Amino acid sequence: MNLLAQLKQYTTVVADTGDFQLIRQYAPQDATTNPSLILKAAQQAAYRQLVLDTLADKRQLPMDQQIDALLIAFGLRILDSVPGRVSTEVDARLSFDRAATEAKARQLIALYQAAGVDSSRVLIKIAATWEGIQAAAALQRDGIHCNLTLLFAPIQAAACARAGVRLISPFVGRIYDWYKKTAGASWDEAAHAGVNDPGVRSVRRIYALLRQHGFATEVMGASFRSTGQILALAGCDLLTISPDLLQQLQQADGVLPPQLHADMDLGDDTLPARLLDDAIDESRIRFALNEDAMATEKLAEGIRLFAADTEKLAQWLQALPSD
C-alpha cells in the first residue's frame, strides 16, 4: 500500500483545495477551502463557465454577496466530489467582530441549505481570535458546526474545546516557518525533523491535551510544508493536505505506523491540564497570546493574508467580463 492509503487507515484525509476536479484523484473524506484557494481555482480556464454562471444574475449585488455565491458554488461542487464535509471560510476581515462573524456564518449556512445541503456537511471556518471563538460557541449551540482556523497556541485550542467547537485546525507549516526564520543560520533541519518539528510538536501536544481530558473537539493538522510533517502526525483525527503533497504520498511506498494515539505519553512536553480546568476569559487568552510571540505574529499575519486574498478575489470578480 502506498503511504496515502496507509495514512487513511489511521486518519481522516482532507483535501486542501478549491479544485474539485483534482480532489477526485485522491478520494479524501472532506475538503477545506479558503479565499486563496477559491481565487486560485476560479482563475483556471476549466472553471470559468462556473464562475460566469454563478455570477450571471448577481452582478448588481454587493461584492460580499457575489463572493459568498462563488464560495457556495465551489463548495457545492466539492460536496459532489467528497462523501464528507466542506469547510467554507468567513471573511477574515470580520475576525475581530463577533456579531458580524456570526451573521456571516449564518448567511453561508442558509445559502447551503437553500441549495439542498444538510448543515452537517458544512464546517464554517473562522479565525481563532477571541471574537471568533465566541461567535463559534454561539453557532455551535444552534447546530452550526465550526472549524477554527489560524490556530497556533494551546490557549486557542483550549478555549475552542471549552466553547464546544466541532473542529480546530492547528497550523504546522507556519509554525515551522516562524521558528526556522527566527533561528536563521543556526537552524538545524535534521534536528527539527519528525516529532521535533515545532509545528508537529504543537499539534501532538494539543491532540494529547484534548483527547486525554475527554473533549470531543476534532483536531485537524493543517498547513504542511512536507510529507515528513504529515507522516509524523499519522493518527491525528484529520489532516488537511494540499494536492501536491497528496500526490507525493500516493506515489510513495513504505511502512507507516500510527504516530498519535489518545493515551500517548509526551513526557515533559505534555500541556498542563489547567489550560482546560481554569476559566478561559478574554483577558486570559489575550495575555497568553501576547506572551507567545510566534502565535501572536502568525495569527495576525494569517488574518492579513486571508483578508488580502479576499480583496484580490473581489478585484478579480469586478474586472471579470460578463461573457
Give the residue numbers marked as catalytic: 125
The DSSP annotation for 146-195 comes to: EEEEEE-SHHHHHHHHHTT-SEEEEBSHHHHHHHHHHHGGG--TGGGSGG
Return d(Cα 169, Cα 171) in angstroms, integer.
6
- CB-based burial of residue 107 (10 Å sphere; 0-12 exposed, 13-18 middle, 19+ buried)? middle
Asked if 241 and 221 touch (Cβ cutoff 8 Å), the reply is no
> Amino acid identity of 200?
V
Which helix H or strand E contains 98, and what residues bound it?
Answer: helix 98-114
**Cα separation values, 3 from 17, 80, 224, 255, 322, Å:** 20, 25, 16, 7, 44
Long-range contacts made by residues 46-50, C-beta under 8 angstroms, separation at least 24? 46/21, 47/74, 50/74, 50/77
The cell for 276 is 482546560
Closest to 53 measured CA to CA, from 21, 76, 33, 36: 76
Distance of CA 152 to the CA centre of its chain: 12
Q: How far is the C-alpha of 87 from the C-alpha of 33, rounded, in Å?
A: 6
User: Which run of H or E residues covers position 106?
Assistant: helix 98-114
